[in-house]
Amino acid sequence: MTTAREIMTPDPRCIGESESLQEAARLMAELDVGALPICGADGKLRGMLTDRDIVVKCVARGGRPAIETAGLLAERTLVLARADDDIRDVLRSMEQHQVRRVPVLDGDELVGIISQADIALTMSSTQTGEAVEAISE
């Protein structure tokens, strides 16, 4: 059995829920990622923020990314994986909920993120193609 821990990208950087969307976008550019976990002052996961969230939910509506905070756009309904979950279960969850990235927790601690890129790097081309197709329906 392959576990979530085995294919995740470990030690993801968080954006604080009170930090600006401009700072989130800067951090995404610096890290070359399209999403960041949003963490509270206690370090606990509060949500996820994507580059698309910033554009569609802030910029396109005339918002002010230098002032609006990451916490305001946090996707509150999170699809999560546990570090020891079987990757097949994680893939089914990603497909069912149509999400491209899943935070991975060990207890209450955020330890990684599984993205489509992680799937492509670790799974067979057939499995990757099937997963990407199902997630993107």
Residue 116 DSSP label: H
Pairing of strands 101-106, 81-82: parallel
Residue 136 has pLDDT above 80, yes or no: no
Q: What predicted TM-score, i.e. pTM, was given to this entire model? A: 0.87
Phi and psi at 3, nearest 5°, equal -100, 165
CATH number for 21: 3.10.580.10
Residue 43 has pLDDT above 90, yes or no: no
Confidence of residue 58 (pLDDT cuts 50, 70, 90): very high
As a whole number, mean pLDDT of residues 125-134 equals 75
The pLDDT score that the predictor gives to residue 125 is 77
Q: Which of 33, 66, 65, 68 is nearest to 50 (CA)?
A: 33
By three-state DSSP, how is residue 109 classified?
strand
Of 23-27, 107-111, 132-136, the range with the lowest mean pLDDT is 132-136
The pLDDT score that the predictor gives to residue 77 is 78
Q: What is the mean pLDDT of the chain?
A: 91
The pLDDT score that the predictor gives to residue 74 is 79
Q: Dump pLDDT digits (tens) for 71-107.
A: 998 766 789 999 999 998 999 999 999 888 999 999 9
Residue 36 has pLDDT above 90, yes or no: yes
**Domain of residue 25, residue span:** 4-135
54 contact partners, CB below 8 Å, separation of at least 6: 21, 24, 25, 65, 73
Task: Provide the number of structural domains found in the chain.
Answer: 1
